[in-house]
Amino acid sequence: MTTSDVNPNKSNAFIVGYGGWVMIGTHSNAYVDYGNQGFGYITPDPVRHKMLQVTSASVTMQRNIPSANSYYLPLDGVINDGTSAKAPILLGEGTYSFSGEISFELTYGVMGKLFNNSFLNRKTWFDLIMFDGKRQCSKANCVWSSFGIQCSPNSLVTVSLSFQSNNSYLNELQVRGSSDVEFLYDKEDLLIPYWSCGHNLFQDFSVTFDRNVTPIFLNGNNKTAAYLRAGVVNVSVNATTIDYHLPDEFKGGSVINLEFGGSKTLKLIHPQVQSHGYNMPSMNDVGTTSYSWTSIGEKSSEQVYSFSS
């Protein structure tokens, strides 16, 4: 936990460490507004929220401080009236923006909640409840800017998520002394093995969804963004295979199907090869081929990816 340089009573960062947990809940309705209530603590709901097998998580508040510099600064540093310009001038409290990052291991329960077209929709937002083992932090009105999936042999399948938030129109991180809810590890929510993911020709692969998220500030009393404008989603896939002569479907133009745990399929529609390389790391190893694809349609209204069960 770190404190703000501007006001030592306000926290500007929250980091989940040993003994912590993170829960996420998705929404498609209007933003919640906790500004009038003065607090935004979210009560964990085992039905609506899903526990993540988190490996790291953090949220940060960034303050944009408006200031002005003196337009007249003599060489000797002294103005006619005997004063001198020593520092910028504070013009107001400024605006606040919030961002965060989460990394977690993929389970069947989390995959069912996040691996769908609804979560990737521009109108969908989510809330977070984070517990670092001592304090609980709540964050609402979160919009993802990057959503990545990594899969490689002898490793767990991991997901990374970057997001922005308007903090439900509040200026401070909502951190309280402790969590009033305790959770037990869900032994039924199994981790997804790496060998059940990807394509049968892939040795390892990664998928990245990214989009620009712009906080929009309007005239009024709120010092946080009125809403977060999400742009068009770009998707890219990187993969390594030991077979140099890949099928024609991987050379662009056809659908590429990526399996996840035997229950979800990501379809990369209109894939286009961005890069193609061949690498032989040493004389004691076989050569590998690397591919990088992106999806680009012929019309802006075309869907270039989709999740299906």
What tens digit of pLDDT does each residue of 247-275 get?
A: 666 665 678 899 999 889 999 988 888 88
What are the residues facing 204 on neighbouring strands?
A: 240
Burial level of 286, CB count in 10 A (0-12/13-18/19+)? exposed
pLDDT the model gives residue 2: 32
Q: What global pTM score does this model have?
A: 0.85
Coil, strand or helix at 110: helix
Q: What is the DSSP letter of 111?
A: H
Q: What is the DSSP letter of 194?
A: G
Q: What is the pLDDT of residues 48-68, one digit of tens each?
A: 888 899 999 999 999 999 999
149 touches 120 (CB < 8 A): no
Sequence-separated (6 or more) residues with CB below 8 Å from residue 280? 286, 287, 288
Share of the chain above pLDDT 70, in %: 86
| pLDDT above 60 for 194 | yes
The HSE-up count of residue 166 (CA atoms within 13 Å, CB side) is 24
Place of tokens 């990501």: 266
What are the residues facing 3 on neighbouring strands?
A: 11
pLDDT the model gives residue 213: 95
| pLDDT above 60 for 7 | no
pLDDT the model gives residue 146: 96
Q: What is the pLDDT of residues 283-293, one digit of tens each?
A: 777 778 888 99
Q: Which of 164, 16, 172, 187 shows the shortest CA–CA distance to 104? A: 16
Share of the chain above pLDDT 90, in %: 41
Region 211-230: what's the mean pLDDT? 92
First-to-last alpha carbon distance for the chain, in angstroms, is: 41
Place of tokens 């964990």: 44
pLDDT the model gives residue 5: 37
Region 133-138: what's the mean pLDDT? 86
pLDDT the model gives residue 82: 63
Residue boundaries of the structural domains of the chain: 2-65+90-308
Residues comprising the chain, all counted: 309
Region 15-30: what's the mean pLDDT? 85
CA distance 125 to 35: 18
| pLDDT above 60 for 4 | no
Summary mean pLDDT of the chain: 84
Q: What is the DSSP letter of 107?
A: B
More confident residue, 248 or 148: 148
Q: Which of 225, 109, 211, 95 shows the shortest CA–CA distance to 162? A: 211
Region 28-51: what's the mean pLDDT? 82
Coil, strand or helix at 140: strand
pLDDT the model gives residue 223: 92
| pLDDT above 50 for 40 | yes
Query: Percentage helix, strand, coil, to 5, in the chain?
Result: 5, 45, 50
276 touches 238 (CB < 8 A): no
pLDDT the model gives residue 11: 60
More confident residue, 234 or 81: 234
The HSE-up count of residue 114 (CA atoms within 13 Å, CB side) is 28
CA 122 to mean position of chain CA atoms: 14
pLDDT the model gives residue 151: 95
The pLDDT confidence band at residue 245, using thresholds 50, 70 and 90, is low
pLDDT the model gives residue 241: 86
CA distance 299 to 293: 18
Q: Which of 203, 209, 211, 210 shows the shortest CA–CA distance to 291? A: 203
| pLDDT above 90 for 149 | yes
113 touches 124 (CB < 8 A): no
CA distance 118 to 101: 20
Q: What is the pLDDT of residues 84-135, one digit of tens each?
A: 777 888 998 899 999 999 999 999 999 999 999 999 988 899 999 988 888 8
